[in-house]
Homo-oligomer: A and B are copies of this chain.
Amino acid sequence: MIIQLKNSVSDYEVTAIKSKDLGYTFNDIQTQVARYLICIGKKEIDLREIGFLDGVQDVHKVSDAYKLTSTKWKVGKTSIDIGDGIKIGNGDFQIMAGPCSIESEDQIRSTIAHLKQAGIKIMRGGVYKPRSSPYSFRGLGMDGLRLWYKLAKENGIKIVTEVMQVSQIAEMHDYVDIFQVGARNSQNFNLLDELGKVDKPVLLKRGMSGTIEELLQSAEYVFSNGNEKIILCERGIRTYEKAYRNTMDINAITILKDKSHLPVVADPSHGIGVRKYVDKIALASIMAGADGVIMEVHECPQKAFSDGQQTLDYKQSIKLIDKMNQARLLVEA
């Protein structure tokens, strides 16, 4: 059960609600937007009994394992403001493009020029890279991020990049517009807790074999710590099929959009993971309901740090962006 509290609710009123003997435990949650009581328990109660209490704005029964991220209480879609009027969700669509890893000033400049030409406002790229092997390149770290920030800022481009651990949140905070949580940290609950205390949007990737329900529960961690600005991301799951990198689960996009009010983006580059197939999977994702697409693009994919076999070159990128815009028109029609 979710009790939405009035903005004007007093502590006295909250205490009164909690002291009702409902057989529930109460989680008192204050976000940037509103205050909620999440009530966990199994007893059947008459919602009206709660609805008439002072300080209560609305009350909803939510049977899902996730609560605040569910459409069961919030039917309208969430719009997230990334800054300077750039929005995602509830009708606003965004493409996030850029390299796998931030490599150099030249690379950043080149990418930004490409994004501006293509009308893209959000740049992706990694400065902290999770790598299976300890002997692989792990990214340029804060030096890379500061440089990137300076150039992006000058050009009105927003930054989405991965944060890997709690201690990085504070140092990265002023330089990122969206904190990305990678698939491997999808159930790093301490990291999610801390990102719930931040006032910047969080892009949360589905785990490598994470269920749709688990993704929404992970988002619930962020939300219940105070941050309502969450973007969900489908990036492919692990299955027996090895003809591609991951099984991009287009179904999940459709279901997430139905089960949750949060925006959902697709990452076909890491999903199918093969350059020549990225366009079709990006377009399919849009038809399935995606509010955005993350894609890897590099001036010269063959020279990118990571192997770059999923990365588009600028020409391919421009062509796909054009098609995605057309697909969006069809979806909106």
A249 at the B interface (CB under 8 A): yes
User: Which of A87-95, A118-126, A185-193 is the contact stretch?
Assistant: A185-193
Q: Which residues of A contact B (CB under 8 A)?
A: 25, 27, 38, 40, 65-67, 130-135, 164-167, 184-185, 187-191, 193, 207-209, 211-214, 217-218, 220-221, 224-225, 237-244, 247-252, 254-255, 258, 271-272, 276-277, 280-281, 283-289, 323, 326-327, 330, 333
Question: A221 to chain B: which residues have CB within 8 Å?
Answer: 134
Instruction: Count the copies.
Output: 4
16 contacts between A and B (CB under 8 A): A66-B133, A67-B135, A132-B187, A134-B217, A184-B189, A208-B208, A211-B241, A237-B240, A240-B240, A241-B249, A247-B247, A250-B281, A251-B271, A254-B272, A280-B289, A326-B330
Is the Cβ of B134 less than 8 Å from the Cβ of A224?
yes
Within the complex, the shortest CB–CB distance from A194 to chain B, in Å, comes to 9
Given contacts A133-B220, A211-B240, A255-B244, A284 and B277 within 8 Å (CB-CB) = no
Given contacts A165-B191, A208-B209, A287-B287, 18 further A-B contacts (CB under 8 A): A66-B133, A133-B217, A134-B221, A164-B190, A165-B190, A166-B167, A167-B167, A184-B187, A207-B208, A211-B242, A241-B249, A241-B251, A250-B284, A255-B277, A281-B288, A283-B288, A326-B333, A330-B330
Bound-state CA distance A280–B255 (Å) is 10
Bound-state CA distance A40–B136 (Å) is 9
Q: Of all chain B residues, which has the CB nearest A243?
A: B212
Question: A218 to chain B: which residues have CB within 8 Å?
Answer: 132
Is the Cβ of B217 less than 8 Å from the Cβ of A132?
yes
Is the Cβ of A164 less than 8 Å from the Cβ of B189?
yes
Q: Of all chain B residues, which has the CB nearest A219?
A: B134
Bound-state CA distance A68–B78 (Å) is 48
Question: A251 to chain B: which residues have CB within 8 Å?
Answer: 241, 243-244, 247-248, 271-272, 277, 281
Given contacts A135-B27, A249-B247, A277-B254, A166 and B166 within 8 Å (CB-CB) = yes
Given contacts A185-B188, A249-B241, A255-B244, A65 and B133 within 8 Å (CB-CB) = yes
